[in-house]
Amino acid sequence: MSRSLAPGHHPSLPQRRDEALQPATVSLLPSAVNAAETGDEERLNLIGYWQILLKRKWLLLSVLASVLSVVLVKTLLTPPVFRANATLQIDQDTIKIVQTEGVAPAEGVGDRDYYQTQYELLRSRSLAERVAAGMGVEQIRLAAAAQRTPGLWARLSGGDADAAEPAEPSRDELASYVQRHLSVEPVRNSRLVRIQFDSLEPAFSAAMANAIADAFIATHIDRRFDASAYAKNYLEERLQQLKLKLEDSEKQLVEFAQQQGIVSIDQQQSPAAQELQSINASLAAAQQQRIEAEAKFRRSQTTPADALPEVLLSSIVGQLKNRRTELLSEYQEKLRIFKPGYPAMEQLKGQIEEIDRQLAGEIGRIKNAVRSEYDAARSAENMLGLRLAELKAQLLDLQGRSIQYNIIKREVDTNRELYDGLLQRYKEIGVAGGITANNISVVDRARAPTSRFSPNLGRSLLLGLFAGLAAGVFLALLFEHLDDTIKSPEDVEQKFGLAVLGVIPRLQRGSPLEALKDPRSPFSESYRSVRTALQFSTESGVPRTLFVTSSAPGEGKSTTALTLALHFAQLGKRVLLIDADLRNPTIHQALRVPNTGGLSNYLSGASRPLKFLHPTQVKNLACLCSGPLPPNPAELLAGPRLVTLLRLAAASFDQVIIDGPPMLGIADAAILSNLAGGTVLVIEAGSTRLGYARGVLKRLNAARARVLGVVMTKLDPRRGGAVYGYGGYNYYAYGGRPKLEAPRARRA
């Protein structure tokens, strides 16, 4: 035994504990906690929504059935309502009283609000009162009976059967009744409108629809007569006023023109205006000439005489320069023969000087001509400017004197236009006299309906179907949103950042150990995949000591520990399964071994380390049961004897699997996770809550455990795993009931 405890022979437990204290071994857990704390919402696609609806199908169907039942009962108990239809054609009103704004405006041909106005008039209170005033005794009786129709609860309870005959309704009540049961439906892309009336009697519905149509036409004709009569009286008064006003304004215009001596104030026809235009054009031309002359003059003052364009373009200057050049050439030729004082030479020199004087004189004359041109242009500009100012003053004086004239003339024109327009409208109204073709006519009169309009059983059930589906889908999504359990492996990876070692399906019947008897069953295959994933969980394979725990009881922790032990034993490894749950042990019941002594005996110092080691019916599998339940499990597990035991077990066996208690509520699991080389967390799909899982990860992080991954158990693909297990602290009571059955393994 001492040889097996050598440090180089097998990885002992203290080495695993030291490794657990290294930062590299706990690098997975902070990331998992950080991922859990972020609380990122899962983005569901259409398939995800469909799976939610399948999982909540019974809720959806229950809501749908309830809604359809209520709709069906209400439809069957609702009294039949009959709707009668009368069709009207409404054309644009072509009669216009006046065309001037502010007197009596009428709708235009393109006024898109005209028809909406007519629809509102059909629904108006005044029309309803007119219809109510024309109702007969029988119609009033039917309206009163319809107003006292019992409700749904009264019909269900059988009440209101012997109610007294109601009093005759008032005019206001009848008008309100007409408004409530009247509906106006315009026919799209046409000038037709349907008047619909609902009641319990077919004949009454037809009579009321026709009465409303007739009353609307009569009301429209009354408004036309009233408008024509009012307009005729109004126009007579206005014509008399405008006639007198027009005469007064014309007299004032003539008198003012005579007093001021104004023949015409049209500025385009007056001589001063015409001369002003001519002077203005001449002034612009003079200014242009002055600018050009001034530019020449400025250039003559600053540019050398020989470089002036006027000098260069002068033919006289050119001839003189040519003659001077010839004389200079001749003088130079004779200078070779004669001296400068020779008479012929003196004569040539005098001729050259005379040409120079002529050139200077010609250049001076050109400069004087440029200056004279500039002075003349400036003088002409000044004269035109003075004349323009005089004409402007004359026109301003004329405008000032004609202001009052224009005011009076505009008043005369306005009065004449108003008078002519009103006179024309007065003649039209006098000829028409308000008697013209009506723009509203009845296309189809209402007939008594032969079938009821409502309630429509098919339509009601269809609406109930849509409403029930909508409510069911909403409640299903709401409950799914409120359900904070872990439902799928994606939840583990996205919310906690942990690897999923395997997914164990929920058994529809039988116990887990019975399902393991068939090595080809999905249940057995899923645990084999967990075993394979554990072999690749670290660089060196499966840790020698493996601790299995969960957040709450009933999640399949003990089943997972036992099943992994069986599968590792099938590989030919020597496996030791330790039941470290000193509060509610179950392994001895599953393996059918005695639990008279075990781990608690050794931890309390009452036995040797491996004294109570039991072989099992499975080859290569041994078991160390929990032993008698101690009163202080946490103190026993925290002592040094457990470290020694695990060191001996790791040296003697190829694989040590520890079945521990759940993490939440007690300190036992935290101690065991710190001592083990690797920890496997078991989560039940649809039962383990996110808060519990976060708490487990925080405690494992605090214990510096090396979490290898998660095994998700009891996943039902048909229901999404949303099956709530049981939890609570009653698990930690001493002497719990056994949860596993012994396997019938073949003998070695």
Mean pLDDT (10-residue bins), the chain, 748 residues:
34 39 37 44 64 81 90 84 90 57 46 82 90 79 63 50 60 87 89 90 88 90 75 71 74 69 53 72 78 73 66 71 78 77 78 78 75 79 79 68 70 78 70 62 88 81 89 83 74 79 80 74 84 85 90 86 89 91 87 86 80 86 89 86 89 91 82 89 81 82 87 72 34 38 38
Per-residue confidence (pLDDT) for residue 671, from 0 to 100? 87
What's the alpha-carbon Rg for the chain, to the nearest Å? 58
DSSP state of 725: -
Per-residue CA distances from 660 to 432, 514, 550, 591 (Å): 107, 23, 9, 16
Q: How far apart are CA 694 and CA 691, in angstroms?
A: 5
Assigned token pair, 583: 């509060």
- Going from N- to C-terminal start, the domains of the chain cover 14-39+484-720, 66-157+165-233+440-457, 271-432
DSSP tag of 57: H
Task: Give the model's pLDDT for residue 353.
Answer: 78
Long-range contacts of 488-491 (CB under 8 A, 24+ apart): 488/685, 488/712, 488/715, 488/720, 488/721, 489/712, 490/42, 491/42
Q: Which two tokens stand for residue 465?
A: 């179907």
Class of domain 66-157+165-233+440-457: alpha beta
CATH topology of domain 14-39+484-720: Rossmann fold (3.40.50)
pLDDT for residue 77:
82
Instruction: Specify burial of residue 39 (Cβ count, 10 A radius: 0-12, 13-18, 19+).
Output: exposed
Phi, psi (rounded to 5 degrees) for 50 = -65, -40
The pLDDT value given to residue 193: 92
How confident is the model at residue 622, as a pLDDT? 92
Beta strand pairing call for 82-90 and 440-444: antiparallel
Predicted TM-score (pTM) above 0.75:
no
Q: Is 686 left (phi over 0), alpha (psi -120 to 50) or beta?
A: left
pLDDT of residue 657: 93
Tokens of 88: 């009207």
